[in-house]
Amino acid sequence: MLNQPLVSIIVPAHNSARFVGQTLSSIRAQSLEDWECVVVDDGSSDETCAVVEAVCAVDGRVRLVRQSCGGPSLARNRGFLESSAASEYVTFMDADDVWEPEALATLVGTLMKSPGAIGAHGVAEFIDENGNPLKCGAFSAFGRRRLGYKDGAIREWPLDGPTEFDTLVWTGPLYPPGLLLARRDAYERAGLFDMRLRHCEDWDMCLRISRLGCLQFVDKVLLSYRRHGANQSNNQRDSGPMVRLLHHKTFFAAENTPEQQEMLRAGWKAWQWYKVKEKWRGVKSGRMKELPLAVFKALAAMPVHLMRYLRGYPTCSGV
User: Any idea of the CA torsion for 93, 253, 241, 195, to the nearest 10 degrees?
Assistant: 50
Whole-prediction pTM value? 0.92
The rounded mean pLDDT for the chain is: 92
Does residue 237 surpass a pLDDT of 50? no
Contacts of 228 (CB under 8 A, 6+ apart): 96, 128, 129
Contacts of 125 (CB under 8 A, 6+ apart): 133, 134, 136, 137, 139, 140, 221, 223, 224, 225
| pLDDT: which is higher, 233 or 157 | 157
User: Any idea of the CA torsion for 25, 7, 171, 13, to the nearest 10 degrees?
Assistant: 50
pLDDT at 12: 98
- C-alpha 63/C-alpha 297 separation (Å) is 50
Strands 89-92, 62-67: pairing is unpaired
Does residue 276 surpass a pLDDT of 60? yes
Mean of pLDDT values over 201-229: 96
